[in-house]
Amino acid sequence: MNALEVKGLTKVYPEFTLDKVSFCVPKGHISGLIGRNGAGKSTTIKGILRLIATEGDVAVFGRDIIKDERVVKQMIGYVGGGFRYYPMNTLAAIRKAYSPFYPTWNQGKYEKLLVQFDLSERKKVKELSEGMKVKFALALALSHGAKLLIMDEPTSGLDPLSREEFCDIILQLVREEGVSVLFSTHITSDLMRISDDIVYISQGKILVACPLKELLDKYKLAHFSSLADATASKAIGVKAVKEGYEGLLPRDTQISTNVAVTDTTIDHIIVHLERANEEERYAEFN
């Protein structure tokens, strides 16, 4: 069973369209939602959560979010970047306002998470570091029994050690509690560490939705001494770098011996596919 199924999610704005977005998050998987700023990541998440009106279908563990909205939203925990509660509130005050919305609220689990995350309810939001704010948001999300975590840029603003700790926590939740995760981020190194699948959105459309390993195995990064060599090799999204040029090549491409190739990262794939898309759009208008 899939933890999340999104089919044909569409939202039309005057200058942007989320265009029939479809993908799934398998149960027990961490799926990374990637794309450049303005690609539609946050709009997709808002549409899934019904924070904006959209067309299309969303199901969580097989249950339609419109027909069974109250039940479905009990199964979802949301964690975003930038904790937006009143800074003068204590964590205790926030918990008291938050928990009544969830009949499944587990105070014992909440208190255990506070200990695990080294959080005190006596503290005010303004006294928390960015990493502690994210941990508190995660504690709230997990304490009502959420089985699907939807996270929108949760590690933005965190230092590398805090991001590492956060990713370790997410991995532990998936392995020990069977939580499923949709993780939107532009910090792709986090996804390289923990994600099972990648959903890549560009200009409001899904370009790739597949296992991470499949995506990384699809391309290799080629380094060329001249633009002519890159063009002759039909490299994808060629760009100038410090020493020559680089672009993507399908993994099974036969290349000449004077072309150096290395493994790709998510960053490489985004940069070069976006460049290729921009070139195609430019060609359409000229």
Q: Write out the residue range of the structural domain in which residue 257 sits.
A: 216-284
Determine how β-strand 260-262 pairs with β-strand 76-80: unpaired
- Shared domain check, 199 and 220: no
Tens-digit pLDDT profile for residues 160-169: 888 888 889 8
Q: Which of 172, 203, 234 is the last residue of a domain?
A: 203
Tens-digit pLDDT profile for residues 234-264: 899 999 988 889 999 998 887 776 788 899 9
pLDDT exceeds 80 at position 281 = no
**Residue 208 forms part of a structural domain:** no
Token pair for 153: 């840029």
∠ Cα 202 205 16 (to 5°) = 85
- Shared domain check, 136 and 90: yes
Check residue 253 and report its DSSP letter. -
∠ Cα 127 137 199 (to 5°) = 130
- Shared domain check, 123 and 237: no
Tens-digit pLDDT profile for residues 15-36: 899 999 999 999 999 999 998 8
CB atoms within 10 A of CB 286: 5
